């Protein structure tokens, strides 16, 4: 105790104190909050799933992601990406990658649901990561679509467009249209951040808020366009194109007709 009090005026004492304070608050926060905790696996995978998944992985994914999914020059390590990531990438047809390019394109799904599940089980066994979401949290009818709409406009619309019709990013990358995307894939995209999308962790947007966003997306998808054909929901560009081509085109046809029998 004496040694400590003797050194209390040491030039580095303040720094040491600050470090200690940070460690204590950070440690307490990490212990008390579950938000940043890697989710425990809620869907149960059997050892058989993991083994089958490992075989499928070696046959279909390891050429880029490496044996043991530790990554290579061509593709990132998948340790800790979680089952949700595999379920999204493989389940939406983005993986296996069709070709190198600015980003993975969605294409027809290459594996059965069972095979996807087995690969997810294998990748989940490598390290803790986001799990495949539960059915209850994906139920759009339980969500609040107006809260979801506000969250969507603040967090998602700048890339995906206010009507979820998609938009351009730099150098050939893009945010796809969310129209027709399943509840599960929307949720998984938010927790895993595929391609250029940021991760929206549970600390950022809570699972209930994610459910609200899904409710909003499903509401606008199912209600259709109240005002007639939506012209791609692309805003004033498609409206301008339409009035110049179709609107003015029809008017010109009439002007030609009206002056066709003249002097």
Partner 1 sequence: MSSSTATTTYTPKTRVGKVTDYVDSRVGGSGIVKEFGRKIFPDHWTFMFGEVALYTFVILLISGTWLTFFYDPSMAETHYEGSYLPLRGVEMSVAYASSLDISFDIRGGLFMRQIHHWAALLFAASVAVHMLRVFFTGAFRRPREFNWVVGCVLLILSLAAGFTGYSLPDDLLSGNGLRIIDGVMKAIPVVGTYLSFFLFGGEFPGTMIIGRLYVLHILLIPAVILLLIGIHLFMVVLHKHSQFAGPGRTNTNVVGYPVGPVYAAKAGGFFFIVFGVLAAIAAAFTINPIWNYGPYDPSPVSAGTQPDWYIGWVDGALRLMPGTLGNNFDFEFMIPFPWGVNALSLNVLIPALVPAAIVFTLMFAWPWIEAWVTKDKREHHLLDRPRNAPSRTAIGVAGITFYCVLWAAASSDLIATHFLVSLNDVTYWLRALVFLGPVLAFMVTRRIALALQRKDREIALHGRETGRIVRLPHGEFIEVHEQVDDYKRYKLTSFDSPEVMVPKPDENGRISRLDKVHGRVSRFFFEDRVAPVTPKELAASHGDHHDEIAGAKDRESIASH
Which tokens in the block code for residue 164?
A: 């979820």
Tokens 């995209």, residue located? 189
Q: How far is CA 211 from CA 17, 97, 140, 146, 229, in A?
A: 43, 29, 6, 12, 28
Q: Please report how close the Cβ of residue 147 comes to partner 1 at its closest, in angstroms.
A: 8
Binding to partner 1 in span 219-238, by CB under 8 A: 219-220, 223, 225-231, 233-238
Least separation in angstroms between CB 59 and partner 1: 31
Q: How far is the CB of 209 from partner 1 (least distance, A)?
A: 15
Q: What is the DSSP string of 46-91?
A: -HHHHHHHHHHHHHHTHHHH-GGG---SSS---TTSHHHHHHHHHH
Residue 59 engages partner 1 in binding (rule: CB under 8 A): no
Residue 152 among known ligand-binding residues? no
Q: In the chain, what is the straight-line distance between the N-terminal and C-terminal CA atoms, in Å?
A: 114
- Helix or strand run (H / E) with residue 168: strand 167-168
Among all chains, which residue has been given the structure tokens 């009035």? 243
Identify residues 163-202 at the interface with partner 1 (CB under 8 A).
Answer: 163, 165-172, 174-175
Kindly tell me which of 122 and 152 has the beta carbon lying closer to partner 1: 152
* DSSP 8-state assignment for residue 93: T
Three-state secondary-structure class, residue 218: helix
State the binding string over 128-167 for partner 1 (x if CB under 8 A, else -): -----------------xx-xxx--xx--xxxxxxx-xxx
Given 21, 23, 134, 254, the residue binding partner 1 (CB under 8 A):
254
- Residue 256 binds to partner 1 (criterion: CB under 8 A): yes
The residues binding partner 1 (CB under 8 A) are 102, 145-146, 148-150, 153-154, 157-163, 165-172, 174-175, 216, 219-220, 223, 225-231, 233-240, 242-244, 246-248, 250-252, 254-256, 258-259, 262-263
């Amino acid at each position: 105790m004496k040694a400590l009090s003797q050194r209390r005026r040491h030039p580095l004492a303040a720094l040491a104190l600050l470090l200690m304070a940070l460690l204590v608050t950070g440690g307490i926060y990490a212990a008390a909050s579950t938000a940043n905790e890697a989710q425990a696996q809620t869907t149960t995978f059997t050892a058989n799933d993991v083994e089958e998944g490992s075989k499928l992985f070696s046959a279909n994914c390891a050429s880029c992601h490496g044996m043991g999914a530790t990554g290579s020059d061509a593709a990132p390590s998948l340790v800790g990406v979680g089952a949700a990531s595999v379920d999204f990438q493989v389940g939406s047809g983005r993986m296996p990658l069709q070709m190198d390019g600015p980003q993975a394109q969605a294409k027809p799904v290459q594996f059965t649901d069972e095979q996807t599940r087995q690969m997810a089980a294998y990748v989940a066994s490598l390290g803790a990561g986001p799990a495949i979401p539960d059915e209850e949290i994906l139920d759009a009818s339980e969500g609040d679509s107006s809260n979801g709409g506000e969250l969507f406009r603040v967090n998602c619309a700048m890339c995906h467009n206010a009507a979820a019709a998609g938009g351009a990013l730099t150098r050939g990358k893009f945010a796809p249209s969310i129209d027709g995307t399943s509840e599960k894939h929307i949720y998984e995209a938010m927790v895993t951040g595929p391609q250029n999308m940021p991760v929206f962790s549970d600390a950022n947007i809570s699972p209930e808020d994610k459910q609200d966003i899904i409710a909003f997306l499903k509401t606008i998808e199912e209600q259709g366009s109240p005002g007639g054909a939506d012209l791609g929901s692309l805003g004033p560009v498609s409206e301008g194109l339409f009035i110049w081509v179709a609107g003015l085109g029809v008017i010109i046809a009439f002007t030609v007709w009206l002056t066709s029998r003249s002097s």
